[in-house]
């Protein structure tokens, strides 16, 4: 597998930000991702390796061998402008807790909305 890929996000606070991941095998074939087999997670935090569960869960939805990730305005407004966050998008087997694939990782840089605080 060629996981995880790296993608750094420039996020404008208060907007909806959405992207789609279409996983492939190392041979370039479609990696089968279905909601009957996997749960998807889009986790955001200010540091890596934290175990206290204080991170943020953004939206990750599985559909047609893809994972659609969304930062909603409500989630985005809980992020602090000028702070760099880390994120991972993973899929986890519903029946085997030992099968976890991190598909994408990177940073999220937050730019304040010009109307923030108005």
Provide the residue-wise pLDDT of the chain in tens; the chain has 118 residues: 567 899 999 999 999 999 999 999 888 899 999 999 999 999 999 999 877 777 899 999 999 899 999 999 999 999 999 999 999 999 999 999 999 999 999 999 999 988 655 4
> Model's pTM, two decimal places?
0.89
The DSSP code for 4 is: P
Q: Cβ distance 80 to 67 under 8 Å?
A: no
Which CATH architecture fits 5-111? Sandwich (2.60)
Listed in sequence order, the residues at least 6 apart from 83 whose beta carbon sits closer than 8 Å to its beta carbon are 46, 110
Residue 52 CA to residue 18 CA, distance in Å, equals 27
Distance of CA 27 to the CA centre of its chain: 24
């Amino acid at each position: 597998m060629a996981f995880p890929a790296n993608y750094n996000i420039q996020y404008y606070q208060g907007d909806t930000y959405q992207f789609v991941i279409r996983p492939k095998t190392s041979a370039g074939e479609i990696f089968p991702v279905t909601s009957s087999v996997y749960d998807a997670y889009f986790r955001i935090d200010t540091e890596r390796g934290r175990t206290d569960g204080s991170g943020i869960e953004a939206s990750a939805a599985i559909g047609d061998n893809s994972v659609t990730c969304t930062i909603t305005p409500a989630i985005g407004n809980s992020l602090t402008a000028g702070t760099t966050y880390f994120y991972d998008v993973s899929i986890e087997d519903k029946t085997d807790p030992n099968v976890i694939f991190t598909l994408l990782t990177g940073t999220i840089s937050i730019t304040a909305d010009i109307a923030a605080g108005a």
